[in-house]
A and B are shown apart, each in its own frame.
Chain A
Amino acid sequence: TGGGSTPTPPANQTQGQGAATANPDQLPRSETLYTTGTQWGPPANFNPIREWDSAVGTKGLVYETLFHYDTTASKLTPWLAESGSWTDDSTYQVKLRQGIKWSDGQPLTAKDVVFSFELGKMETVPYHNLWAWLKSVEAVDDQTVKFTFSKANYQQWDFNVYSRSILPEHIWKGRSEKEVLDGVNENPVGTGAYKFMSKDQDRVVLQRRDDWWGKTALNMEPKPRYIVDIATPSNEVALGMLMQKGLDLSNNFLPGVANLVKGNFGLTTYYAEPPYHLSANTAWLVPNNTKKPMNDPAFRKALANSIDVKQIVEGVYGNLVKAASPTGLLPQWEQFVDQNVVSSSGFAFDAAKAKKMLSDAGYKDTDGDGFVENKDGSKMNLTLIVPSGWTDWMESARSIATSAKGAGIQITPDFPDFNALVEKRSRGDFDMLINNERQLSNSPYTYYEYMFQLPIQKQQNTVNFARYDNKKAWDLVQQLDQVKTDDIEGMKKITSQLQQIHLDDMPIIPLWYNGLWAQSSTSVWKNWPAGAGAAPKTGAVMWRNWFELGGFESLTQLQPSGS
């Protein structure tokens, strides 16, 4: 531009977007949000189909879903959809909002929605299984989409309506299966409030679209004009940058952050005291139910009683996490916990009781080495694997081994490489492991699916790592799926049965709730979500799939600290 080497004066607001692009080389600090904790390397793709490794914000900021899900109110929030309802038991109808435009100016229509869901017919698209029970998707008119089901899995459907990105048919049409699944999708065209501005080795930069539909339709506007998401190689680097005020939000697990929150460092977390964070998922101890002695429910229950979770929570995590309830259901699902079941069949750390349970079940220390032997008298030495380098889990595993020793169970922690662990896990070649791969969702259904899914395959890749084989439980889970999501009582009836089975058989043992790690600095942005006062109650996370669970709403609540 003609400015030559003379520095251009700071852009004023009225110039809006134009000004921002005119001098995009240096982002104005007061209008930029710096985040980290999602991405660990260079941004790889902008493909919303790749919900697990697309660049931060691909889904949620650039592409959007029909609904969002409000975790506090436990209900769907219409988003691209104006409304959605079951017109009969197997037909679901969505009405789209008027006037939504793609970032290239084309209007969003029912055909885009149809296209997006029909992409799932491709075998390798992650939501392909939807078509096992979805019969058809039709555009009734430009604003109306009708879904017809062969089997109405209400719980799963709700999950789908807030999880699946809606893609522009006019751009994606004709892409091959390979391109759909593997394409980088440079220059994504979405409906969302942001678009990608640039990327580099360690970051992506998103720029707000000032013509975003939600401004008027939802009366919402995310406050940061720019979002820069940084890939930090490690948690401690993130903490360092946070303290240097280079970052506004870190979604990393930052040990010791409690000290900083209490001190005067301008750092906040959701709660000002333990556990500091909302809960995001449950960490489970997964015993291999097909192996001796873990195939014995009595043993598993004794094991559950032998673990001093408090020690982990306090010792390893410095109270950054919360001990899990015996059901393992996240606090957000508290209403589904059947207290009667818990009080009659629950468990708690009690070494003496664990010892007794063991000996009652026939596990005795016959050779006097302080550890019980198998029923047949053979030595018992169980290995607990967690991925090498996951320090908090490694420490936890050590802690578990120590407390199990108190009850006479010999556990040796082992730290294989992550990939080796994945392989062992899917082949069932392990004694015990720790896993937390199910996140908070709209329904405990997803949790019970994770716990009980059948049939057990040779390779168990994502669910039921314990290989717990209980037909009745799986039937119940499927029944739960068929319960309408607003029928809370109907759901409860099934979940309490499932809890009974879980606590009786203890296929997997809940340990603690991992936090929805969100440490924010108040130096540039304030009004971060917090448990106290009038602050927003949503989660401040940039993690993939969490924008729909309140992450996006949090952005709209931010306020610049300067003003």
Chain B
Amino acid sequence: MTTLQEVAPRERAGVRREALYFAVRNGKLMTGLGIVLALLLLGMIGPLLVDAAPNQYGPQPMSPPSGEYWLGTTTFGQDIFAQFVHGLRSTFAVGVIGGGIAAVIGMVVGFVAGYLGGIVDEVLNMLTNIILVIPTLAVLLIINAYLGIRSVAVQGLFIGLTQWPWAARAIRAQTFSLRTREFVDLARMSGSGTGRIIAREVAPNMSSYLFMTFILLFGGSVLIASSLDFIGLGPTEGVSLGLMLQNSTQWSALQLGMWWWFVPPGAAITAIVGALYVANVGLDEVFNPKLRET
């Protein structure tokens, strides 16, 4: 997983316009975003194109990709392309929900701990450390198994609830350095309260950083969800790329040579997460002049 860097002090000149200028010229950012958007689009409109329900049995089981079935069919004749596009949706959903929840918690904890410092920080920091050290997948396994996760949304929720600590830690560190900036003092002297200062002074200064945090959390959620799906602890309703992988292995696609069943879902997860990471590095370069290729 890519590690987040400190936000280097920015050059004062024309931060925004410059960012845009470099953004559109940054190959990494553009390729990454391009791939993600293409897959997102496929997940959005794909289900409208195929009329087969993703789990509906079809007449031609185990057929390789063809004009009729773009990605072939499963042992049950299900249209893999239909599953794939629906799965893309769930994958994005899990990423957004898991990443979003984790980002929100991470932000709240990070901001509050970093800004208030003192005993609040100690307590929150301890909480963060505790959750950070607990192997979350193992906990998720247990929770998932016993709560019987039904929907992608609930899965995302649980992933989000366990994923936030490193984000909190990173945001805390950033807040720590930002709160010593004098505009924060100035805001206090303008009569702004804590919440306001965090929301209006600190957070806007880290917007790119927060966005990058979200991207990493998004990717992490997708990967964790796919692991859970794979070991059979995924949502019991709906389709997801991880469930497709699980199904393909459970029905021995590997041994039966049905590569078209297990390659696309894994490739899509890799593509989404990888593209996000690449875009993230690109973003880093955009916002951080030191990283730009000179």
B75 and A256: CB pair below 8 A? yes
Which partner residue on chain B sits nearest A244 by CB separation? B255
Instruction: Name the distance in Å between B260's Cβ and chain A's nearest Cβ.
Output: 14
What's the A-B contact tally at a CB cutoff of 8 Å?
Answer: 57
Chain A 247-262 against B: per-residue CB contact (8 Å), 1 yes, 0 no?
A: 0000000111001100
Instruction: Name the distance in Å between A417's Cβ and chain B's nearest Cβ.
Output: 6
Q: Is A16 in contact with chain B by the CB < 8 A criterion?
A: no
**Complexed CA–CA distance, A311 and B57 (Å):** 9
**Complexed CA–CA distance, A395 and B250 (Å):** 12
**Complexed CA–CA distance, A389 and B145 (Å):** 11
Q: Is A391 in contact with chain B by the CB < 8 A criterion?
A: yes
Number of interface residues of B (CB under 8 A): 20
B255 and A240: CB pair below 8 A? yes
Instruction: Name the distance in Å between A73's Cβ and chain B's nearest Cβ.
Output: 36
Instruction: Name the distance in Å between A79's Cβ and chain B's nearest Cβ.
Output: 37
**Complexed CA–CA distance, A417 and B146 (Å):** 7
Q: Is A28 in contact with chain B by the CB < 8 A criterion?
A: no
**Complexed CA–CA distance, A318 and B252 (Å):** 13
Instruction: Name the distance in Å between A521's Cβ and chain B's nearest Cβ.
Output: 13
B247 and A315: CB pair below 8 A? no
Q: Across the interface, which residues of A come within 8 angstroms of B249, CB to CB?
A: 234, 236
Which residue of B146, B249, B252 has the most chain A CB atoms within 10 A of its CB atom?
A: B252
Q: Across the interface, which residues of A come within 8 angstroms of B148, CB to CB?
A: 388, 415-417, 420
Q: A235-B250, A417-B148, A420-B148 are in contact. Are A398 and B55 (CB under 8 A)?
A: yes
Q: Is A205 in contact with chain B by the CB < 8 A criterion?
A: no
Q: Is B177 in contact with chain A by the CB < 8 A criterion?
A: no
Q: A389-B232, A395-B76 are in contact. Are A256 and B252 (CB under 8 A)?
A: yes
Tell me which of B77, B232, B251 contacts A255 (CB under 8 A). Answer: B251
Q: Across the interface, which residues of A come within 8 angstroms of B252, CB to CB?
A: 235-236, 239-240, 254-256
Q: A391-B247, A415-B236, A420-B148 are in contact. Are A316 and B76 (CB under 8 A)?
A: yes
Q: Is B133 in contact with chain A by the CB < 8 A criterion?
A: no
Tell me which of A316, A399, A414 contacts B236 (CB under 8 A). Answer: A414
Kindly state the interface size class of chain A when it binds its partner. Answer: 20 to 34
B57 and A315: CB pair below 8 A? yes
A260 and B256: CB pair below 8 A? yes
**Complexed CA–CA distance, A243 and B252 (Å):** 12
Chain A 392-436 against B: per-residue CB contact (8 Å), 1 yes, 0 no?
A: 000100110000000000000011110010000000000000000
Instruction: Name the distance in Å between A534's Cβ and chain B's nearest Cβ.
Output: 31
Which partner residue on chain A sits nearest B231 by CB separation? A389
B255 and A239: CB pair below 8 A? yes
- For window 366-408 of A, CB contacts with B under 8 Å fall at 388-389, 391, 395, 398-399
Q: Across the interface, which residues of B come within 8 angstroms of A391, CB to CB?
A: 247, 250-251
Q: Across the interface, which residues of B come within 8 angstroms of A316, CB to CB?
A: 76
Which partner residue on chain B sits nearest A316 by CB separation? B76
- For window 178-234 of A, CB contacts with B under 8 Å fall at 234
Q: Is B195 in contact with chain A by the CB < 8 A criterion?
A: no
**Complexed CA–CA distance, A79 and B77 (Å):** 49
**Complexed CA–CA distance, A235 and B249 (Å):** 9
Q: Across the interface, which residues of A come within 8 angstroms of B61, CB to CB?
A: 315, 318
Q: Across the interface, which residues of A come within 8 angstroms of B254, CB to CB?
A: 236, 240
Chain A 126-158 against B: per-residue CB contact (8 Å), 1 yes, 0 no?
A: 000000000000000000000000000000000
Which partner residue on chain A sits nearest B144 by CB separation? A417
**Complexed CA–CA distance, A395 and B251 (Å):** 11
Could you list which residues of chain B lie within 8 angstroms of chain A, going by C-beta atoms? 55, 57, 61-62, 75-77, 145-146, 148, 232, 236, 247, 249-252, 254-256
Q: Could you give 26 example pairs across A and B, Cβ below 8 Å?
A: A234-B249, A235-B250, A236-B250, A236-B252, A236-B254, A239-B252, A240-B254, A255-B75, A256-B75, A256-B251, A311-B57, A315-B57, A315-B76, A315-B77, A318-B75, A388-B148, A388-B232, A389-B232, A391-B250, A391-B251, A398-B55, A415-B148, A417-B145, A417-B146, A417-B148, A420-B148
A259-B62, A311-B57 are known; give 9 further A-B pairs, CB within 8 A: A234-B250, A236-B255, A239-B255, A243-B255, A255-B252, A256-B62, A259-B256, A415-B148, A417-B146
